[in-house]
Amino acid sequence: MKLAFSTLGVPGLPLAEVIALAVKHRYQGVELSVHPEEQIRLGLPSRERDKAAALFQAAGIEVLGLSGYSHVAAPGDDCFVLDEVRQLLRLAHDLGAPYIRVFPGADPTRLRQESDAIAIRRLIGLAEYAEHLGVRILLETHDSHRTGLDALRILGPVSHPYVGALWDVMHTWLGGEQPADSYTALAPHLGYVQLKDIISGADTTPLPLGSGGLPLAEFVDTLVGRGWDGWLCWEYEKRWYESAAPLPPLLGAGRNFLSGLFDWRI
């Protein structure tokens, strides 16, 4: 297993300091949130891209993926969504990241089949470009498609190796899906897994790993039992929860917690 953390947990922190935290606490990678207020954003000049990539390479820390905010199942102009995702793919390629994240984001007032068809059409239209750049598009289990079976309604018909799944375990759990069922649905498409912990299903404020309401041991047992050996990313959403404790002091204990669950395989 390889372990990463998301920059959502350290909003605004300079990349050099993010990398230093990863090195100090023995995380092999970092997931970068692509946000207008962050150093990594759409439209980043080429010189800044090269500088960022060099920082990660020099430290031996991998850029796991770029977390974008495009909604591929949302109504509206295809051209806007396609252009935004293509920009994200180019940015990931320039930074050496193998994955980008997109959301479903379907309109809840529309028929499910209509929203699925929008996402399928757009992802098929993006797949060849993603393959050309060597970057996989991962549809996160989130919002309108929060379970593995929801995501599979899109990923199955797309059926392209450069379009896959990002398993956010909180959302499949909130959707009432058992970890084993989520894994079965997502495994043929799975890029990597986002782990986190929260207060409860009614309050998703982030907590240190192992101190909240998510059954993390059950998710880990499922992954280990199925022989999965990919990336795990701790997504601690400090950016969206101002009251949450700072992430840096929690990183060491979080790594130790996960290593214990995985019998020190990370």
What tens digit of pLDDT does each residue of 128-139 get?
999 999 999 999
Q: What is the DSSP string of 37-99?
A: TSSS-TT--HHHHHHHHHHHHHHT-EEEEEEEEEETTSSS-HHHHHHHHHHHHHHHHHHT-SE
Q: Is the pLDDT of residue 264 over 70?
A: no
Q: Is the pLDDT of residue 266 over 70?
A: no
Mean pLDDT of the chain: 96
266 in a structural domain: no
Which residues fall within 8 angstroms of residue 54, CB to CB, at 6 or more apart? none
Integer Cα distance of 224 and 263 in angstroms: 10
Segments forming the whole domain that contains residue 109: 2-261
Residues 239-258 have a mean pLDDT of: 96
46 in a structural domain: yes
Tell me the whole-structure pTM to 2 decimals: 0.97
Quote the number of domains for the chain: 1
87 in a structural domain: yes
18 in a structural domain: yes
CATH code, domain with 152? 3.20.20.150
Q: Yes or no: say if 73 and 124 are a contact pair by the CB < 8 Å rule.
A: no
How many residues does the structure list for the chain? 266
